[in-house]
Amino acid sequence: MARESKGVLYVVATPIGNLEDMTLRAIKILKLVQLVAAEDTRRTGILLRHFDIATPILSVHEHNEHARVERIVGRLAKGESVALVTDAGTPGISDPGAALVAAIRSAGFTVEPIPGASAVAAAISASGITSHGFTFLGFPPIRGKDRKQWFADATRAAADRLVVFFEAPHKLQKTLAELDNYVKRPIIIARELTKIHEEFATGTPDELGKRFESPHGEFTIMIPPEGPNDKVVEAASDQDVLALFGQITELGGSETKREVAREVGERLGMTAKQVYEIVERNKLVE
């Protein structure tokens, strides 16, 4: 009798906010498999319904992970395939999925990644930060001693390269206040990535603490490495440009507009043309 081929465990990335951030292959695979192992069955249920996927969902979380391994191994051994998804994004080292993947690999089955949305990669890609690599640190720990150690560690890592970490809204104020003891240069915060209220904000930890006084949503915090990014993250806003332009013009020298634009550009790390365009653009709405 012909033996069925062994099943595959697909590790499938899912959207982090916008349901359209789903890949064509992820949709196919979630339809194809016999079982979807999910961290949050409610949330995964919404996703599957959105794409008309009727595959049964099995709950897999920190507390039942070990028991689930045998069940999933059993399905794979029968030649069925299984998809593993988490709450949102790419299942990773911070998720309960890692131990499950390791166990399935140990049992000799093929594990195949289906790439897709990742909050870390998305935040970095739109940050404009230049760095030789980066360090991702998950969430800061809650306990006092671990926490101190963690901040010192993060600061040390950020001397060499970009450091990225997550924070929950209700802990953001405390974390920024603590970070202010270690980092005095501007950092970048991405809030609500891929959602309607997505925003990127730049400033020192202290400045951002004031900006996000009653924070909502999920936060991805990026500490650029020391040195090369100082200009990048101190990005001048239209307001900065217009204020400086107005100030120099009002001093009433003999400079032409072009000369003022060059001077503003030099001070703010932009080209004269960029300054000029901001000035022109903002005239239109006056």
Site for its own copies in 112-171 (CB under 8 A): 112-138, 153, 157, 160-162, 165
30-38, 247-255, 256-264, 273-281 -> range binding its own copies (CB under 8 A): 273-281
Minimum Å distance from CB 284 to its own copies? 5
Q: What is the CA radius of gyration of the chain?
A: 24
Give the C-alpha distances (Å, rounded to integers) separating 52 from 43, 47, 81, 161.
14, 9, 19, 43
**Does residue 217 interact with its own copies by CB under 8 A?**
no
Name the E strands within 72-172: 82-85, 110-114, 134-136, 162-167
Q: Which residues of 263-278 are buried (b: 16+ CB within 10 A; e: fewer)?
A: bbbeebebebebbbeb
41-49, 106-114, 243-251, 252-260 -> range binding its own copies (CB under 8 A): 106-114
Structure tokens at 250: 């009002």
**Does residue 236 interact with its own copies by CB under 8 A?**
yes
Minimum Å distance from CB 211 to its own copies? 16
Minimum Å distance from CB 252 to its own copies? 26
Structure tokens at 129: 């930060």
**Does residue 252 interact with its own copies by CB under 8 A?**
no
Any idea which residue has 């008309």 for tokens?
52
Q: Which one of residues 80, 180, 192, 198 is an interface residue with its own copies (CB under 8 A)?
A: 198
Any idea which residue has 């979807």 for tokens?
36
Minimum Å distance from CB 172 to its own copies? 19
